[in-house]
A and B are shown apart, each in its own frame.
Chain A
Amino acid sequence: MSAVASATQPSSEIEQRPASLSTYTRNYAARVRGGDMGSLPAVLGLIVLCLGFGIARPVFFSTINFANLFTQAAAITAIAMGLVFVLLLGEIDLSAGFASGVCAAVLAVLLTKHHAPWYVAILAALVTGVVIGVLIGFLVTKVGIPSFVVTLAGFLAFQGVLLLLVESGKNIPVTDPAIMAINATGKLPPAVGWALLVVAVAGFTAAQLVRRRNRAGRGLAADPLSVVAVRVGTLAVIGGAAVYVLNLERSINPIAASVRGVPVIVLILGLIAVLWTFVLNRTAYGRHVYAVGGNREAARRAGINVDRIRISVFVIGSTMAAVGGIIAASRANSVDPNTGGSTVLLYAVGAAVIGGTSLFGGKGRIVDAVLGGAVMAVIENGMGLMGVDAGIKYAFTGGVLLLAAGVDALSRRRAAAAGLR
């Protein structure tokens, strides 16, 4: 195909990227050495942690535990996806944890005390998230208070709002079947799981091939077929294995109650991840988010409304916190004063950073939040199986977060030296 590319545009002075699998591998290796590691540390960490916990506690690899990992990771991953937007601008949202708690409480109060239908309650929770985001964004952008301070104040204030909503320490049960289906009871029938995987792989393949044909048709360097095949193959193999395992019977007593199928939350988070990835990579808005994160002055001179972009990322951050809150409420079947509290925020920030999103702004992807959320869930889950102290668990998680931030800072320095950033 590279022959076509050079034949249609022979006069081009710009070197067309040589297209072969080996060149791709070499380029990737060069990028990693240069400090642009992408998701490599998270993937390696995930493998090491899984093997370690699996060897120490073989039950880690049981089908029921595998399904648990998804439900455990879900809320933190959702919040982390929103934080990726905030971190891309080099800002921080420390209030995301309790914002998710407040939104969950709104959901629970409407459902349980006002008997609102589940979709009204979900909408109200999401709107609450939007309002919180607009408020934070306004204070940071228009008033000019640093986001660290605004969201630190929010951290405390939202904790108070949450306490008021759940009336000091009571626990509001959430028993609505639709809400419970989100991240507790909902399983896709095995056939549907397979069908969705086929649709996903086919869609991905089609997207890749169309993109490739468009580029080649206009004489631009296109990805070689071998690279496309590797990408599609990787998705199919990993997705296939996951669906297979999740479709196995994981009930302790299968005769009484059969538990099998892909948890609904996997589908929900998958769709959200695809949506945000599309927004960041394929729309002008996403491009402008990266631009403002990379060089605010350049973005301003290019005619981008920087303030609007800055407010919008806080809105997305808080709205995804609301999604995280709904997921958490579903999993716990209740909302209490600690929903979204304790480690939730730090785990979410940690997930984004471990996945490879930079705290310095300008660099980050949605898949970072997914991978980082998986790492966090594996640590939480594995440590739980080992039966270690909460103290050790926190210390270990803190260490992992510090390690990730250190990798970020060091790779940044290295990239600066190699001229990659």
Chain B
Amino acid sequence: MTATPLLEVRGINKSFGPVQVLRDVDFAIYPGEVTALVGDNGAGKSTLVKCLSGIHPIDSGEYYFDGNPVTVHSPRDAASLGVEIVYQDLALCDNLDVVQNMFLGRERRNGIVLDEVTMEQLASETLTSLSVRTVTSVRQLVASLSGGQRQTVAIAKAVLWNSKVVILDEPTAALGVAQTANVLELLRRLADTGHAVVLISHNMNDVFAVSDRIAAMYLGRMAAQVKATDVTHAQVVELITAGRSGELGLAPSGTESVNGVES
């Protein structure tokens, strides 16, 4: 484990009109680790991720990348830092093949002509480096791929751009057992190659199978960020549903909202 986080935010606040969605959220992501971001519906996971990726500007708070303070105003800023997001709905074009999708919007060219050879080679190398065996041909149309294969392509697309942080929004939600295992294995390999991986998931089995750290959100706050080996399944569920579990989590008399729900 590295001492300094690759990406860290401190005291993030975010409101949509009168609704405060994030309150003083601290969140740190380390290279070489899978950090699971868990929380109930509406806890603020997606908003936090969108703030990290520059889709939503933050109201207040600090954003550090590699220990240096940075400002992220747009997805382009985040992408130039090396933060890539794999969305739940994947954002792939069915009528294009694997290579074309992986390079979409960032095609390699020779003059005005597309450099198909280089793109195909890089796509193959990326898939190979992730030890992907499920995608047999990089010239297959994405339409012909299964859900797990699509997820693999979406992840490989994020990796292709020398990304340092890869954030995945419920990558296994729509997958079967075997495909889920494949994707989780891929996340593990991604972390092992030095990426900082964030996994948003509702599935405790997935979370414990793959993550090094678990960050639990509760009603717009970061309830706790702990090592996966330090907590039990039941403790994480308590953190998600009540915001605290024994010593862990938000202070019992912290705010009215926590108390209100806890009773």
* A229 at interface by CB-CB < 8 Å: no
* A26 at interface by CB-CB < 8 Å: no
Decide yes or no: A421 and B143 within 8 Å by CB, A294-B95, A301-B87, A302-B106 being known contacts. Answer: yes
Contact indicator A14/B105 (Cβ below 8 Å):
no
Kindly state the separation between the CA atoms of A304 and B107 in the bound complex, as whole angstroms: 11
Closest residue of chain A to B115, judged by CB?
Answer: A214
Closest residue of chain B to A298, judged by CB?
Answer: B91
Instruction: Determine the chain B residues whose CB is within 8 A of the CB of A362 once the complex forms.
Output: 93-95
Instruction: Determine the chain A residues whose CB is within 8 A of the CB of B144 once the complex forms.
Output: 418-420
Kindly state the separation between the CA atoms of A415 and B92 in the bound complex, as whole angstroms: 18
Which residues of A in the span 2-48 have a Cβ within 8 Å of any Cβ on B?
A: 9, 11-15, 17
* Minimal beta-carbon separation of B254 from chain A (angstroms): 38
Instruction: Determine the chain B residues whose CB is within 8 A of the CB of A257 once the complex forms.
Output: none
Closest residue of chain A to B146, judged by CB?
Answer: A419
Contact indicator A301/B141 (Cβ below 8 Å):
no
Instruction: Determine the chain A residues whose CB is within 8 A of the CB of B114 once the complex forms.
Output: 282-284, 287
* A57 at interface by CB-CB < 8 Å: no
* A350 at interface by CB-CB < 8 Å: no
Instruction: Determine the chain A residues whose CB is within 8 A of the CB of B128 once the complex forms.
Output: 11-14
Instruction: Determine the chain B residues whose CB is within 8 A of the CB of A418 once the complex forms.
Output: 144
Instruction: Determine the chain A residues whose CB is within 8 A of the CB of B95 once the complex forms.
Output: 290, 293-295, 362-363, 421
* B204 at interface by CB-CB < 8 Å: no
Number of interface residues of A (CB under 8 A): 36
Instruction: Determine the chain A residues whose CB is within 8 A of the CB of B41 once the complex forms.
Output: none
Contact mask for chain B residues 103-140; partner A; CB cutoff 8 A; 1 contact, 0 none: 01111010011100110110010011001110111110
* Minimal beta-carbon separation of B121 from chain A (angstroms): 5
Decide yes or no: A294 and B127 within 8 Å by CB, A284-B114, A287-B114 being known contacts. Answer: no
Contact indicator A302/B94 (Cβ below 8 Å):
no
* A308 at interface by CB-CB < 8 Å: no
* B258 at interface by CB-CB < 8 Å: no
Decide yes or no: A298 and B92 within 8 Å by CB, A13-B127, A283-B113, A303-B106 being known contacts. Answer: yes
**A-B residue pairs in contact (CB < 8 Å), sample of 7:** A9-B124, A14-B135, A214-B117, A220-B124, A291-B100, A297-B91, A420-B143
* B184 at interface by CB-CB < 8 Å: no
Instruction: Determine the chain A residues whose CB is within 8 A of the CB of B175 once the complex forms.
Output: none
* Minimal beta-carbon separation of B104 from chain A (angstroms): 4
* B25 at interface by CB-CB < 8 Å: no
Contact indicator B143/A295 (Cβ below 8 Å):
no
Which residues of B in the span 144-186 have a Cβ within 8 Å of any Cβ on A?
A: 144-145
Contact mask for chain B residues 67-108; partner A; CB cutoff 8 A; 1 contact, 0 none: 000000000100000000001011111111000100011110
